[in-house]
Amino acid sequence: MAEVELDSVSKIYPKNVKAVDNVSLTASDGEFLVLVGPSGCGKTTTLRMIAGLEEITSGSLRIGGKLANDMEPKDRDVAMVFQNYALYPHMKAFDNMAFGLRARKTPESEVKTRVLEVAEKLGLDELLDRKPGALSGGQRQRVAFGRAIARRPAVFLMDEPLSNLDARLRVTMRRELALLHRELGTTTIYVTHDQVEAMTLGDRVCVMNEGLIRQVGTPKEVYDHPVDRFVGEFIGSPSMNFLEGEKTEEAGDACFAMGDCTLPLSEELKNIPAGKTILGARPEDFSLATGNVKDSQYGLLEGMLEMLEDVGEARLLHVRVANSLLVAKVTERPEVEIGSKVSLTVDSERCHLFDPETGKNLSV
Ligand SMILES: Nc1ncnc2c1ncn2[C@@H]1O[C@H](COP(=O)(O)OP(=O)(O)OP(=O)(O)O)[C@@H](O)[C@H]1O
Ligand SMILES: [Mg+2]
């Protein structure tokens, strides 16, 4: 097992495409670190540099404490799992899984023991004689995982390994991956643009955008305390709501004013200067207002219900308030019709204020 350390690593492709910009990041020994971010933000490039499939333009990479910038891929003791499985189509599942071991001149008896052991772990025992063409997508991906695991590398690098699978299989494989990691304890760097995968699998999550790291933290830290608007919006589904308004004061209390609505803010946000600001609140932080607060405007967001989506365990209310459209996730079944007025309250303790210019979270 090994620690992977990137220190001020950049990658500039020809024609001056800066794919990765001064990234410093450490996956500690045994950690499951997830890189997440929108398409083109540099996730694959980062992983390929660690694997040795892409040259590092500047900065240093250490694997297990050793400088690895110029190390041959085969000497890095890392195994990569790709989105498209990258299996050899003419080889049986067994030989695909044995490939890395044989390439390293492992004795054939040892190859057999290890492949069979991994095949059992992954439920592939019955399929070892089949070629990839005769396997389902999920089975192929298992073989690809098996090939990586059989080698017992110090580090797993996984690039969206589940994204070609259907939604149900993805959930199953996600659970299996989590269990495997618990059992093997191998340092894993896992790329996804699926924020649910990021939140559920990662010991820590690294959110990237445009080649830059925006935030690194535990899933809870990143979800509850996004450092900026980008992270707040990217992590969580449906997205965080952003409402334009003003930070004001009412009878000594910090408030957020938007159109005719005024919301109380938590004590924590009191010292933020008055003026234009953006309030961030997650869908689940809203509730439908009940009878006893109806008399007062204060603390209520009044708007028009534009759409209602029933997602089974909750209802998503799309509500137009002043100039903004917000999404509230509530567990009750509101007796309101589309086009009619609804009143919402928001949990002031969970609200954030963002700088309208820089997008920085002023409350962290
Ligand atoms: N071989 C290459 N030559 C030039 N530019 C490249 C090359 N590979 C990637 N890029 C560019 O580098 C940037 C980062 O690409 P990368 O593949 O790392 O993104 P990603 O985060 O993995 O995206 P996705 O989620 O779509 O897989 C993009 O702007 C991409 O166009
Ligand atoms: Mg990619």
Which ligand sits closest to the CA of 40?
A: 1
- Expressed in angstroms and rounded, the spacing between residue 59 Cα and the centre of ligand 2 is 21
CA dist 283 → 180, 261, 345, 356 (Å) = 33, 18, 11, 20
Of all protein residues, the one whose alpha carbon is nearest to atom 28 of ligand 1 is 40
Which ligand sits closest to the CA of 19?
A: 1
Of all protein residues, the one whose alpha carbon is nearest to atom 16 of ligand 1 is 42
Which DSSP string corresponds to 204-243?
A: EEEEEETTEEEEEE-HHHHHHS-SBHHHHHHSSSSPPEEE
- Expressed in angstroms and rounded, the spacing between residue 124 Cα and the centre of ligand 2 is 28
Q: What superfamily would CATH give domain 241-354?
A: Nucleic acid-binding proteins (2.40.50.140)
Exposure string (b/e) for 195-204, b if CB count within 10 Å is 16 or more? Answer: bebbbebbeb
Domain ranges of the chain: 4-234, 241-354
CB of 44 sitting under 6 A from ligand 1: yes
- Expressed in angstroms and rounded, the spacing between residue 42 Cα and the centre of ligand 1 is 6
138 neighbors 173 (Cβ within 8 angstroms): yes
Which DSSP string corresponds to 49-79?
A: HHHTSS--SEEEEEETTEE-TTS-GGGS-EE
As a whole number of angstroms, the distance between CA 277 and CA 212 comes to 25
As a whole number of angstroms, the distance between CA 154 and CA 261 comes to 56
- Expressed in angstroms and rounded, the spacing between residue 160 Cα and the centre of ligand 2 is 7
Of all protein residues, the one whose alpha carbon is nearest to atom 25 of ligand 1 is 39
Which ligand 1 atom minimizes the distance to the CA of 43? 21
Looking at residue 292, what is its pLDDT? 55
- Expressed in angstroms and rounded, the spacing between residue 43 Cα and the centre of ligand 1 is 8
Looking at residue 291, what is its pLDDT? 57
- Expressed in angstroms and rounded, the spacing between residue 191 Cα and the centre of ligand 2 is 8
Of all protein residues, the one whose alpha carbon is nearest to atom 13 of ligand 1 is 19
78 neighbors 153 (Cβ within 8 angstroms): yes
Token pair of 66 as six digits: 């050793």
- Expressed in angstroms and rounded, the spacing between residue 18 Cα and the centre of ligand 1 is 9
46 neighbors 23 (Cβ within 8 angstroms): yes
Which ligand 1 atom minimizes the distance to the CA of 193? 25
CB of 364 sitting under 6 A from ligand 1: no
CB of 17 sitting under 6 A from ligand 1: yes
Which ligand sits closest to the CA of 207?
A: 1
Looking at residue 253, what is its pLDDT? 84
* pLDDT, one tens digit for every residue, the chain (364 residues): 799 999 999 999 999 999 999 999 999 999 999 999 999 999 999 999 999 999 999 999 999 999 999 999 989 999 999 888 889 999 999 999 999 999 989 999 999 999 999 999 888 999 999 999 999 988 999 999 999 999 999 999 999 999 888 888 899 889 989 999 999 999 999 999 888 899 999 999 999 999 999 999 999 999 999 999 999 999 999 999 999 999 998 878 889 998 888 898 988 888 898 999 999 999 999 999 865 554 445 678 889 999 999 999 899 999 999 888 999 999 988 788 899 999 999 998 999 999 999 999 998 7
288 neighbors 332 (Cβ within 8 angstroms): yes
CB of 45 sitting under 6 A from ligand 1: yes
Looking at CATH, the fold of the domain delimited by 4-234 is given as Rossmann fold (3.40.50)
Say whether 25 sits in a helix, a strand or coil: strand
